Structure formats: C-alpha cells, structure tokens
Structure 1
Amino acid sequence: MIDADRLPRALKPFASGQYRLLVGALAASLLSAGAWLVAAVWQVVELGGSPIDLSFVAVGSSLGLVLAVLIGGVVADRVPQRRILIVVEIVRGIAFAVAAVLAGTGVIEVWHIAALSFVFGLADGFFYPAYSAWLPAILPAEQLLAANGVEGVLRPAVMQAAGPAVASALIAIQAPWLAFAVVAVLQGVAVVVLALMRTTAVRRDLEGLDTHPVRQAFIDLRDGFSYLLKTRWLFATLVFSIVLVFLIMGPIEVLLPFAVKDQTGGGAGAFALALAAFGLGGAVGSLAVASRPLPRRYLTLMILAWGVGCVPLAIIGFTSWLWVMVIALFIVGVLFDGAQVVWGTLLQRRVPPSMLGRVSSLDFFVSLALMPISMAVAGPVGEAIGLAPAFLIAGLVPPVLAIVTLAVAKLGADELAHPLDSAPPDPTIVTGAEAAAGFQAPADEPHPPVEDR
C-alpha cells in the first residue's frame, strides 16, 4: 500500500492501485496511437501521396471522432466506463492488425489508410468521454489536477514522442507494416490491463429512466447541449476552441510533415523528432501544472496559454533549420498541454458528475467540429499560398482571438466568483473505495442543478 501523503503532489494519484492499472493501459494505448501517426504518414509518402492525400487520411480520423463522440458521451453516462474502454481497445487492435496485413502484403492504398483512420476516430469518440467520466470515480477531487497532469505528461511523451520514435525505428528496420503489427500487440496489452481493473458504478441515477433507449439518448443529448448553452465559461471556451482548432490543426497535422521534408530535407526520423519536441514540451508543461495548486486565475491563464502558445508556429514556415522547428514546437507543447491539464480538471470539478460524460463529449465535438474542414483545406491552401503564409496565420491570429474571448465573455469575473481551490466537496460525487465497491448516490439525493455552479 502506497501512502499518498508521502508522495509529491504530482504523484499522489499513484497511491491508488486502480489508477496505476489505468495509467498502464493508457500508456500502451497512447504508444500505439503515436506510432500510427508516423507509420500512416510515411505509408502515404511511400505510396507517392501528396498533401491532398494526407488531408484525405487526416479527415478520416477527425470525421470519425466528430460522428461518434456525441453518442460516446451518452454511453459514458449510462454504461460502466471500464467496459467501454475494453471494447474500444479491442477494436483498435483489430484495425492495427488489418493495416499490418494490408501493408505487409503490398496491397495497401491511400483509401485503406483513410478508412482505418476513420475507425480510429470512431474509437476515440467513445474513449475520451469514458475516460474523462471514469477518472473522478477512481480518485478524490483534490487529486484530479495531478491525474490530469500525469495524462498530460503521458500523452505528449508517449503518443507524440515515444510512439513516433518507435515507429520511425521500425520503419527504418523494415517498413510501415512492422510498426502496424507492433502497435496491434500493444493494444492487446491495454486490453489485458483494463481487464484486471474493477468496474465502478455509473455516477447517475438510472432507475427513473423508463423511456425508450433511443429517445432517452436524444433527451440526454438535449440536456447536455442545454447545460453547455447556459454555462457561460463553458460556452465561451468552446467557441474559442472551435476557431482555434480550425486555424491550427490543418497546418500541424497536414502541412508539418511537408515543411520538415521540403524545407529541411528531413525524412521520417526528422518528422518524428519534430513531434517528439512537441511531446517533450507538453510533458514539461503538464508536469509543471500538476506540481502546483490549481491557479486562482485558471480561466485567464488557460485561454492565454492556448492563444500565445500558437505564436511559435509562425516561425515554422520560414525556417530551413530543423532545430528551429524543434524549439518552436517545444514551446507550443509546454503552453498547450499545461493549459489542457487545467481544462480537464475544470470540467471534472465544475460539471455535475451525472452528465460529465456528455459534457466531455460535447467538449470534443464542439471544439473539433471544424477539424475535418481544417484538415481538408490545409493541403489545398498550403499548395495555393505556400507553407509560410499558412503557418503565419496559424501563429498570429490565435493570440488576438484569446484576448477577445476573455474580454467579451468576462471570464475573469467568472473565475473569481467560482474559486476551485476552496470549493466544498459535492455530496453526489462518488470516488475512491465507494466507487470501486459499486456505490451510487441515493436517488433521493438531488444531483447538482443544470446550471453554472
């Protein structure tokens, strides 16, 4: 038994055995996803693909995510999240295995990669809401910032650094098919680890819901949208996010590989290094935030970090030096992922637990709604105006957008009115041993109202 009181703030969640298993499964899954990022891109390149072809592949993933994430949130608020994650990892493992067979036999085409990316997007649409809704059922509220910081370290360090590095090495040894095969095995590891965990109860009273499941799903979605529209801090942040994603995701996902290839002369290794820099920066930023108390001005610092964090992107389109790209992406990673840790904790602390899955899914849906369009237009725009102007727009517009969002939505006043460092515990939140034992809040104990708390 690990004593949480003797651990540093950022490591306190590891006192929970359930959390340690969850982190192990998450790490295996993220490593697979990171390896896919490089292996899929270089499979397209080996097939003679263009930026437009890569846009086609990237759109498949983001489109699948957007289509699935809303129903994924509804399911996460009704079905034990452990079961959802196990199914998701099985589906992803099968998809990786299919990619390995197609590539290994030499019959793979760009449309195959796009179709598999679509499947991965669908899987992610169920994964993210389930994970976000499950975490507060495993850990106490005061450890959520640290847990989100751990995820913030794992996601860039494993998915954006270790995964691409592993894929790059496997591609150098053989070909992309070997990377696909290895990550299929890693998905099997994630399934085994999740199977060792205990199922926790859904933190919602479902006994009074006797409506037809299909109709109830639409009612659940309506309630989630109603909460989003009535909650100013949530609505303003998501409006900011949807524009931000449109501006930057296309250049990062579609144009960056060609900037590395055409401007620096680098190959798969150089691209993996650029992603690794972004990942390392994200790990540093996440760890720094997780090691400190939640900032008092959490909304202001979060929005500014996202906006100002885009500025280094403006440099990428103008440099022929790989090390400059690496430094720029490192800075972007520090600010972006540090802010993301605050955002994940904010949702888990201020959103009623009975609808956290739906709100998490709406977060992904609304903020990523324009991602397919961003990726679809990035290739043609990059070819029409050049890489340099495209990255310049992605770097300089977001800071202005951040300042406007803070001023118009008056988020400074909201964060002062809702301090999270001294917020009383919510009596309907079930965590720790109670959740592991399957405890649910009593039906006669009202859930928090659907309004800004």
Structure 2
Amino acid sequence: MDVEQIAHADTSVTNGHPLRNAAYRRWLIGSGISLLGDQFYLVALPWLVLEKLGSATMLGALMMAGAIPRAALLLIGGVVTDRVSARWIMVVTAMTRALCVTVTGVLVAHGDLGVVALYLLVVIFGIADAFAMPAQSAFLPSILQSEQLVAGSGLSQGVAQLTAIVGPLCAGIVIAKLGVTLAFYIDAVSFLFVIGALLRLPDPPRSPSHANVIKAMSDGIAYVMRDLPLRAMVLMAMMVNLCVTGPLAVGIADIAKFHLGSSSSYGILVSTAAAGGLAGAILAGVWRVKRRGILILGGSVLLGMCLATIGIVPANIYSLSAVLALIGCVAGCINIHIGAWVMQRIDVSVRGLVSSVLILISLGAMPVSMGLAGFAVAQNTSAMFLLAGIALLCITAVTAKGPSIRQIA
C-alpha cells in the first residue's frame, strides 16, 4: 500500500469524534511527542542565558531576535503554504530545528556556545516558525470536518498543554541533575516523531491562484481588513500580546533564577501555567459560549488583574503558581474559541495565507514586548508586571466601548 492509499484510508473515517480519524490520531501522537521535547528547549534556553550571561536584558534581546524574523516572514510563509505543501513545509522546518538544537547541544557540551551562536539559533528558529505556524494552521482543518474543528482543536490544545505540564517539570529536573546539554538533545530526538507522522499523512488542498507573492500577500491583508469583526479581534490580540508575552517570558524566568534560585522552580512555574491552560482547553470543549466577544473581553480583564497581582504580591512559588494557573486557564479557554471561530470564518482556499496575516498582526507586537520586558526587568521586575496589568485593563476598557468584539457570537 503506497502513501496515497494509506492517506485515503486514514481520512476515510471522518464522522463523529476526531479520534476516529486515523490521520488525526497519527498527527496528534507525533506532534504531541515533539511538543513534549520542545518544553525541554523552552526551559533550557532561558536558563542557559541567565546562568551563563546573568542578564535579563540579554534574554529579552534574544527573544526579540527570534520574534522579528517570525513576524517579518509570516506572510511569505502563508503564501508558500497555499502554493506548495503545508505538510512538507512542516517536515522541512522540523528537520531544520532538530539540526539546530543538536548543534546547540554539542556546542554547550564543549563550552563553545557564544552569544553569536545563541543569536543565530533563535533567528533560525524564528524563520522556521514563520513557515511552520501558517502551515500547521492550514493543515489541521484539512484532516478534520468543519463541525469537528472545536473538538479537534480542543483536543490538540489539551495534548499541547499536557506536554507543557509534564515537559517543564522533567526539564527542570534534568537540567538540575544532568545538565542543560541533555535537554537540547532530548528536544532534537523528539522532532523525529512528528517528522515520521507527517511523512505518512496526506497533503491539504492548495489554492489554485497563480498570483504573484506580493499580490497574494496584499489580498490576504485586504481579506482581513474587509472583515470588521476579524480585524478587531486580531488587533485586540496584538495589544494583549504586547502587555502579556514579554513580561511572562522574561519576567518569570528572571524571578525563578534570581529570587527562587533553581531550574526546578522555573519548571514548576511553567508547568503550573500549562496546567491552567489544559483546564481552560477542557473548559472550552464543554462550555457552549453564545457570546464569544464578551468572553474575550472578560478574559482580558482577568489577565490584566493577574499581571498586576504578580507585581504587587511578594514573589514565592505558591502565589506565583496560583496566578500563573489562572492566566493559563483564561488564555487556554479564549484561544480555543478564537481559533475555532477564525477557522470557521475563513475560506478554505486561503486559510494558509489569511492565517499568516492573522498571526502576523496578532504577534506583531511580540518583538517590542520582549525588548521592553528585558529592559524593564533590569530596572524593576515588580513595577513591570504592575504597569503591564494596568495597561491591559485600560486597553480592554477602550475596546469594550465599541461593538466589533462585543457582538462576536
């Protein structure tokens, strides 16, 4: 039986629960193992930077360096996804990242990993993400029916959150007991599982358009700008990311390193946030929300209050864990409903391109957020969280005055 026959057999059962679909099951297992490995990288890299360089400003600059090419190339990644093969894009980017983390592990083991190599690593990861993110957004709906998207997205998000609970805990212990090098090697091996799964899955449908890349990107932006609720949603997401992403990514690592003092504590904090995300994903799967716009606005208020609380309450593992769990739960629930609403709203022939536009707009503030957070943490970590929370509450209040998001069903 060749690949096409296997793919046809795998996707022939699509009614009912997504787990009845063999293609989806294969994707879920392969991507789940890869995501588990990614958690080792996500814990190892910040810890390595803070341990070797002792600078939150450098950590913020590195994260910003990865976010810039990710944002700059997302539209091109979406165009390529609609014209080439979302599946093969994910295969190539997974291979690229596997090679990067392997080389990083070797350099760390030999004591040769310098600042230039770190910047090169995160930039390559950012470029790979720019192609992999729209490819994945376009790929998942191709192996699920429209009515299965909420359940399938919820299940995928649940698996992602489950790996994010287990992974950081294991990574923190591995780094503390066996060193940071092994964490990079574990991530490298995990990529083999998602590559193997993708090689046995079918390609999603591609756009028949032969427009040039510039026109295609222009069409994608125009598609989003014409849709007022869609446009309002992604602009709101961009502002939330500006206030939340940098402070959490840089600030929590800094607190764990210099206030709590162990990689295990950092792993616990990351895992607690992921546990909250899993709870939010489960909640999204069973909670039939009639007014998604109200849910989004209410969730933004809670996120702002949580950020301000981190800035006010003295740092300890218990209070931070509780607040991060709530942040994860709110974000997990909202992300599932937003993702399902967006995918149901976008025409199938331009999912890859429009997904890249949406991701670009919503994540466009991330480089700025990372850079500002690195600078702010060097001044006062508590003040950074307090100001970020107040800013998010003000943005939500202004957004709530308009009907575009409030009326989203």
Q: Rate the CA distance shift 1:198–1:181 in 2: closer, same or farther, 3 A.
A: same
1:354 equivalent in alignment to 2:349: yes
Counterpart position of 2:237: 241
**Dislocated runs of 4+, deviation >4 Å:** 1-5
Which of 284, 294, 305 is the aligned partner of 2:299? 305
Q: Secondary structure at the match of 2:305?
A: coil
Which of 399, 404, 420 is the aligned partner of 2:398? 404
Q: Secondary structure at the match of 2:113?
A: coil
1:28 deviates by 2.3
Counterpart position of 1:81: 86
Q: Rate the CA distance shift 1:382–1:83 in 2: closer, same or farther, 3 A.
A: same
The two structures, once aligned, show a CA RMSD in angstroms of: 2.0
1:280 deviates by 0.4
1:21-420, aligned counterparts within 5 Å? Answer: 21-158=26-163, 160-202=164-206, 204-206=207-209, 209=210, 216-263=212-259, 265-293=260-288, 295-317=289-311, 318-384=313-379, 386-415=380-409
1:4 deviates by 7.8
- Which amino acid is 2:128 matched to? A
Q: Rate the CA distance shift 1:354–1:303 in 2: closer, same or farther, 3 A.
A: farther
Q: Deviations over 1:158-217 (max 9, x none)?
A: 1x3222223222212321111111111111121111112222332x334xx2x5xxxx11
* Alpha-carbon separation, structure 2, partners of 1:50 and 1:316: 21
* Alpha-carbon separation, structure 2, partners of 1:123 and 1:117: 10
Q: Secondary structure at the match of 1:310?
A: helix
1:413 deviates by 3.5
Answer whether contact 2:14 2:145 (CA < 8 A) is retained.
no
- Which amino acid is 1:393 matched to? L
Answer whether contact 1:62 1:371 (CA < 8 A) is retained.
yes
Counterpart position of 1:423: none
Answer whether contact 1:232 1:409 (CA < 8 A) is retained.
no
Any unmatched runs of 5+ in structure 1?
A: 416-453
Answer whether contact 1:47 1:110 (CA < 8 A) is retained.
no
* Alpha-carbon separation, structure 2, partners of 1:188 and 1:19: 18
- Which amino acid is 1:163 matched to? G
* Alpha-carbon separation, structure 1, partners of 2:161 and 2:388: 20
More off after superposition, 267-276 vs 60-69: 60-69
1:388 deviates by 1.2
* Alpha-carbon separation, structure 2, partners of 1:354 and 1:303: 30
1:259 deviates by 1.8
Q: Rate the CA distance shift 1:413–1:339 in 2: closer, same or farther, 3 A.
A: closer
Q: Secondary structure at the match of 1:187?
A: helix
Q: Rate the CA distance shift 1:105–1:166 in 2: closer, same or farther, 3 A.
A: same
* Alpha-carbon separation, structure 1, partners of 2:218 and 2:55: 41
| Higher helix content, 1 or 2 | 2
* Alpha-carbon separation, structure 1, partners of 2:405 and 2:186: 46
